[in-house]
Structure 1
C-alpha cells in the first residue's frame, strides 16, 4: 500500500538514483586497486635501482609506468636477441632439466626391481647421445625450420631385440 503523497520510482529513476552511483563507486574502487598495485611495483623497482620515492600521485604512477614500458619496448627493438626465448640462460636451463630427467630415469632403473637391464642400458645410451647432441646444437634448436621428433626416428629393432653387451654399465648423467 502506497503512503499518500509518495509515488513509485520508474526503472530509469531508480537507475539514476541508486544503481549508477553504486556502479561508479565500484569502477573507481577497481581503478584505485590497480593503481595501488602499479604503485607497489614501481616503488619496488625504483628501490632496487637505488632511487627512493616518498609519495606518488596517480598521474605520477601512470607516467612512470608509461616511461618504463617505452624503455622496455625500445630495449627489445634495439637488442632483439635478448628476448627470453633466445637466451643462452634458457638453453642452459633446458640442458640442466634434461640432465636431471636423465638422472631420474637412471635412478628409477637402478632402484626398481624387475625392469629390463637391456632396455635400461639402451635408453640411457640414447639419452646420453641426445644430451651430447643438445650440447653441440646451435643455441636456438627450437627455431629450426623442421621440428625434430624423437618418436619419429626409425629403428631397425626394438630396444629388447637390440644386441647390447651384458657387462656394459648404464650411462649416468653425473
Structure 2
C-alpha cells in the first residue's frame, strides 16, 4: 500500500538516480588511483634522471607517460641488438648460481670434517642444474632448428676419465 503522493521507482529510474552515480564515482576513483600510481612512477623516473617535478596535473602525467613510452619504443627500434630484459635477468641468475656453486665448492674444500662424498654429490647436482639451464637457453635460441639431445655426446675431461668407479671430479661447473 503506497502512501498518498509517494510513487514506486521503476528499475530504470532507480538505475538513473542511485546506481549510475555510484558506478561513475567508483570508475573515477579507480582512474584517480591509477593516475596517482603512474604519477609516482614518473616522478621516481624523473628524479633518477636528475629532473625535479613538484606538481603534475592529470594531463601532464599522461603526456609524460606517452613521451616516455615513445622514447622506449624508439630506443628498441634503434638498438635491436640489446638483449631483452628477461635474457639479462637470466644471465644475472646464472652468474649468481655459478658464484654460489663456487663458494660451496670452496667451503667443502677448506672446512675440515665435512663429508667429501656428500660434497661430491652436491657439486654434481649443482653442475647438472647449471648444464640444464645452459641447454634450455641454447634450445630456446635455436627454436627453428630441431635439437636432438640424445645425439649430443658428453665429452669427459681427462680428470673424469681417470677417476675410479666413474666418479666425477668435484667442481662448481
Alignment RMSD (CA, Å) = 6.0
State the shift of 1:130 in Å. 9.6
State the shift of 1:82 in Å. 1.5
* Partner of residue 97, structure 1: 96
Pair 170,15 (structure 1): closer, same or farther in 2 beyond 3 Å: same
Distance 1:68 1:92 in 2: 27
TM-score if structure 2 supplies the norm length? 0.66
The count of residues paired between Structure 1 and Structure 2 equals: 173
Check the 8 A contact 2:120/2:170 in 1, yes or no: yes
Residue segments in structure 1 that go unaligned for 5+ positions in a row: none
Check the 8 A contact 2:42/2:64 in 1, yes or no: yes
Residue segments in structure 2 that go unaligned for 5+ positions in a row: none
State the shift of 1:159 in Å. 17
Distance 1:75 1:46 in 2: 17
Pair 108,147 (structure 1): closer, same or farther in 2 beyond 3 Å: farther
Pair 134,37 (structure 1): closer, same or farther in 2 beyond 3 Å: closer
Deviation string 1:94-138 (CA, Å, 9 cap, x unpaired) is 542552575699799999999999998699679769979999999
Distance 1:30 1:146 in 2: 47
Check the 8 A contact 1:42/1:64 in 2, yes or no: yes
Does residue 165 of structure 1 match 2:153? no
Check the 8 A contact 1:46/1:52 in 2, yes or no: yes
